[in-house]
Structure 1
């Protein structure tokens, strides 16, 4: 472990040296260099202090959120500068070697100096993530988007043709700091006038008390025709902090489950309900969290008791890896699965119809939006709140509206 810390320390030192060289190449003004050094030193000192104050018994709080945000603001732009200048150093090294073997002694040159233009380019490139991260922390984390999706099923019961679902996921109420923005998002949910509202887990970061200031706000979500239903996510089990006793952990878990009742949602714990419309019905199935490398409390067999293969089913399962591992090819035929969990890493680039990228795609095959396999679908919501990094860049907080239509999908 000590060698790992030494290695990380050496890398961070090199990144800082490269960043300072870039600034020094652009300007020789002493006061600018002093200000740069002071700002870097203060940021580094606060980051060390912030991490030293992290309490495993408390978990994520406002200070840890800010510390992670400051770390990213400090490190990523400088890392980009370091990569550009490292590339220049490699070029300078090869230029020196070629010059040594190809030029006469009188024409041999010392190692070429660092070029001011390259440092300007490096700092210009670094400004892109810097401004993006700042925007994400101040505006982006509450830049709520309503995303609409129509899905066709040939065996959808007739009386559910045109049914609308509003889904939201990953509230992480312990991260909120702006009541007006949360009220705005709740108003957006109500404006959709959907037939059913589904919440797919992670109501808190860890503690039930995180949701207490927001209960009245979320209780304003209007109850539609078919009701409001919810499930648990991996953060709702209190797995990521140290508890003074198992009893305290159990009490917190019970309190988290009761939060759903307090905001008038029916929490499905490995169970299903039948939604009836006229003479038709569909099944809504809710499992507890099941994820690869995460808590696996979900029991699909138990949640599906009493259901037949031919029944039309909507499954709520927080982690999309559950769909990969068990659901998509299950003999019981789950028509539509609704998930969340990934947050799209809260960082990426999305240009509809052209580009959709986030580093999280290298971990999760299904990480945002709609996916299909042999007529079965999963929709992965990008998340309502935020966690760890206190912002969002390119992957905005999402309220999903899905319309179910009877028939074949039009190519």
Structure 2
């Protein structure tokens, strides 16, 4: 571990020295260069200090959030400077070869300055985007409307409106009152049903207290249901005792109940309209390892008629391909979250890209496989990096057809 740390430090030092060459090219004032070195040193001291003291006994998420912000907003954009400097150095190498064989000197100092400026400018743009994502991006909630065909949907449920929200991560918000506008947006849709698909908290049930009144303010004609996500089990902190950890989920269930949400733990509920039925199924978290696999679809669907209209809440979208779509219960629609769209990417009408797609094939929007549908919600909150760039927080309005 010590050897790895020394190698990593050496690589960082070389990269910083390389980047400093770009700064020297465009900043002639020595005080400006000194200021850059001083600020850089403070950033690294801060990061080292934070990393040394991050441990599983920390009960809040704020040290991780600040560290992630510094890495993404200050260090990562520097890779663009390195990229442009490398372009110039490749040109210089080619020029050297040309001069060596032709005995003709070539020198383009303006190119070096231009590429250095370009690298610094693009790094500055990305720094601004990541900082904007923290200050404003995580509050730019939008309603995404989608119509979904449900097999054997009774006439009474045609046009039925369901709001799906997911991945609140209540402990990630310093100022949860700033989310009021998003909850107003939910109520403006006048939903028949509200479904929350997991990760209400980062670890501790008590985190929900900060947003309990907001969730209680949600109105839905036929009820509000939720399921557990991987974070709700409190797997990512060190507990004082096994008893304390064991009590965490009962506490979360109790707090959500106070906000009007019923937790479904490998079970189902029936929505009845005019004697016709829609089955809402909720399973505990089931994801590919290392995520927990507590979801029991056999248990959750026991007693449901084969030809009934069914909607499943399952936090992790990998559950769909691995188990759900081939399950004999024949579930028409699965609602998931979990991926957050990695809170970073391009999320345009015809162009969708996020680094998370290299881990999850189904990471946002509606997917169809074998006549069955999966909708992956982009998440309501944030985790790790406390912001969003490109992939905005989502409220999904699903209309059944």
Into which bin does the TM-score normalised by the smaller protein fall? over 0.9
Corresponding residue number in structure 2 for 1:409: none
Quote the RMSD (CA, aligned, Å). Answer: 1.8
Q: Tell me by how many angstroms 1:154 deviates.
A: 5.2
**Of 193-202 and 237-246, the range deviating more from structure 2:** 237-246
Q: Tell me by how many angstroms 1:59 deviates.
A: 4.7
Q: Tell me by how many angstroms 1:128 deviates.
A: 2.1
Corresponding residue number in structure 2 for 1:45: 45
Q: Residues 147 and 157 (structure 1 numbering): CA distance in 2 closer, same or farther, change over 3 Å? A: same
Unmatched segments (≥5 aa) in structure 1: 406-411
Answer yes or no: is 1:260 the counterpart of 2:295. no
Q: Tell me by how many angstroms 1:97 deviates.
A: 2.4
Q: SS state of the match for residue 273, structure 1?
A: strand
Rounded Cα–Cα distance in structure 1 between residues aligned with 2:107 and 2:389: 44
**Of 41-50 and 54-63, the range deviating more from structure 2:** 54-63
Whether contact under 8 Å (1:96, 1:110) holds in the other structure is: no
Q: Tell me by how many angstroms 1:11 deviates.
A: 2.7
Corresponding residue number in structure 2 for 1:325: 322
CA deviation map 1:256-299 (0-9, x unaligned): 22222121101000001111111211111000000012011100
Corresponding residue number in structure 2 for 1:103: 102
Q: Tell me by how many angstroms 1:112 deviates.
A: 7.9
Q: Residues 307 and 257 (structure 1 numbering): CA distance in 2 closer, same or farther, change over 3 Å? A: same
Answer yes or no: is 1:140 the counterpart of 2:128. no
CA deviation map 1:91-127 (0-9, x unaligned): 3223212321x223xx457998971111011112212
Report 1:3-402 matches (<5 A). 3-100=3-100, 102-104=101-103, 107=104, 115-153=112-150, 155-222=152-219, 224-293=220-289, 294-352=291-349, 354-402=350-398
Q: SS state of the match for residue 68, structure 1?
A: helix
Whether contact under 8 Å (1:59, 1:240) holds in the other structure is: no
Whether contact under 8 Å (1:231, 1:318) holds in the other structure is: yes
With the length of structure 1 as denominator, give the TM-score of the two structures.
Answer: 0.93
CA deviation map 1:61-96 (0-9, x unaligned): 223211210121111111111122123222322321
**Of 225-234 and 323-332, the range deviating more from structure 2:** 323-332
Whether contact under 8 Å (1:275, 1:284) holds in the other structure is: yes
Rounded Cα–Cα distance in structure 2 between residues aligned with 1:201 and 1:114: 52
Rounded Cα–Cα distance in structure 2 between residues aligned with 1:373 and 1:60: 40
Rounded Cα–Cα distance in structure 1 between residues aligned with 2:200 and 2:121: 39
With the length of structure 2 as denominator, give the TM-score of the two structures.
Answer: 0.95
Q: Tell me by how many angstroms 1:374 deviates.
A: 2.1
Whether contact under 8 Å (1:18, 1:82) holds in the other structure is: yes
Unmatched segments (≥5 aa) in structure 2: none
Whether contact under 8 Å (2:176, 2:210) holds in the other structure is: no
Q: Residues 395 and 89 (structure 1 numbering): CA distance in 2 closer, same or farther, change over 3 Å? A: same
Rounded Cα–Cα distance in structure 2 between residues aligned with 1:62 and 1:25: 37
Q: Tell me by how many angstroms 1:244 deviates.
A: 2.4
**Of 327-336 and 107-116, the range deviating more from structure 2:** 107-116
